[in-house]
Amino acid sequence: MASAGRAKVRMGMVGGGEGAFIGQVHRQAMRLDGQIELVCGAFSRDSDNNRRSAESLHLDPKRCYPSWEALLAGEQEQPAEQRMELLAIVTPNHLHAPVAEVALRAGFHVFSEKPAALSLAEVQRLAATQAGSGRLYGLAHTYQGYPMVWQARHMVRTGMLGRLRKIYVEYPQGWLSEDQAGRGNKQAAWRGEPEQAGPSGCMGDIGVHAFNLAEFVSGQRIERLCADLGTFVEGRRLDDDGAVLFQTDNGASGVLIASQVCAGEENALRLRLYGERGGLEWRQEEPNSLIHRPLGEALRVLRAGVDRHELCDETLRRLRLPAGHPEGYLEAMANLYNDLATGIRTGAAPDVPGIEAGLRGMAFIETAIASHRSDSKWTAFAATER
């Protein structure tokens, strides 16, 4: 709940109009804790869609803008006590960096969908802008908002697994097993266009989530990799499948698999880590459970809301419901929004993926593409210096 006597953080949105799944998810998540209110938007380039979207959200028609440029200019003219403070960017990928850069320079905080940009060079320019702006920048790696992901991270960092040896992360989906773009699916269409999606399809859309999760929980950074990318659906211009072998800066090795042509799969993100003294497993489709496999002992399942005496403070802070009441994707994203709102109010750095995650994610995408095109066994990870 919002603190008594404190105004909600005022948010605007670019993209996410009628028919856009991710925009609705962001709006539902940001409302969950009562910390943020939506006050303006430029939801669609289609004027009718834009108008209907604003009407359905009961926004002041004067703050429904025809473009993101008009939104930023218009909000700067608003009185300080009414002006947007935070901008959510839920457009196709090609607009993420241009909108964020102008918004930061205009004095607004930013929460953007991933990836942060279409190239590493573009993210590096954005990082320089953000560093000089004094404003917060968050990236919607939503899976970092799940409580039991933080528990897994805590158990790795406190040495319960011993030194990590193996990291396996996979993200199979099946929704692009057929030519959805050819059937008029707009969400599939732009994801297949390099001009809007960037240089990678599957790896840029979901592989980067798997990469982020692996580095976040393990606490290690991938140093080199060997990637094989593929396109199974005829006529598709970008990859819809891929596999990556990798090695980390602390001696672990692993495998990352991402595919959008695994027919029958829904959203089966899974992470497994193995150290000298045991292993951990977390699955996004069963997010309230964390499987711990101690060496030489029976496995045990830690459950959100049940094993509170064994859960770390960061996990407990992100739990919302008693045992047996499932928490999922919306709650995970709401945790990111809640942390960001707190950061905006206090000036403290929030526990939200930021520009560093954007740099690492784009470097992963570019390195995977370079490796796929190379005849070398290993490709060194792209440098992410700002």
**82 DSSP assignment:** T
pLDDT (average), residues 344-372: 96
Q: List the beta strands (DSSP E) in 43-103.
A: 86-90
Sheet holding 137-139, edge to edge: 36-42, 9-15, 86-90, 109-112, 137-139
Instruction: Please count the residues of the chain.
Output: 386
Residues 264, 269, 275: CA angle, nearest 5 degrees: 135
Confidence of residue 309 (pLDDT cuts 50, 70, 90): confident
Instruction: For residues 32-42, give the mean pLDDT.
Output: 97
| Helix segments in the chain, DSSP class H | 21-31, 47-56, 68-76, 96-105, 120-133, 147-157, 186-191, 194-197, 202, 208-218, 313-318, 329-346, 355-373
> Which whole number is the average pLDDT over 122-138?
97
- pLDDT at 267 exceeding the cut of 80: yes
Kindly tell me if the per-residue pLDDT of 314 is higher than 90: yes
Stretch 351-361: mean pLDDT: 97
pLDDT tens digits, one per residue of 4-30: 446 899 999 999 999 888 999 999 999
Query: How many angstroms separate the CA atoms of 129 and 380, rounded?
Result: 27
The pLDDT confidence band at residue 149, using thresholds 50, 70 and 90, is very high
Compute the distance between CA of residue 38 and CA of residue 217 in angstroms, rounded to an integer: 32
Q: What percent of the chain has pLDDT over 90?
A: 91
CB-based burial, 286-319: b 16+ in 10 Å, e otherwise: ebbebbbbeeeeeeeebbbbeeeeebeeebeebb
CA distance 30 to 334: 6
Please say if the pLDDT value at position 300 is more than 90.
Answer: yes
Per-residue pLDDT tens for 239-259? 999 999 999 999 999 999 999
Which pLDDT score is estimated for 386? 63
Query: Which whole number is the average pLDDT over 282-299?
Result: 97
**Per-residue confidence (pLDDT) for residue 367, from 0 to 100:** 98
CA dihedral (103, 384, 146, 27) in degrees, to 10, reads: 20
pLDDT reported for residue 3: 41
pLDDT of residue 212: 98
- Name the residue ranges covered by the structural domains of the chain: 9-142, 146-321+361-371
User: What architecture does CATH give domain 146-321+361-371?
Assistant: 2-Layer Sandwich (3.30)
Domain 9-142 = CATH 3.30.70.20: no
For the chain, give the percent of residues with pLDDT over 70. 98
Yes or no: say if 288 and 326 are a contact pair by the CB < 8 Å rule: yes
Contact (CB, 8 A) for 218 and 210? no
Q: Give the chain's mean pLDDT.
A: 95
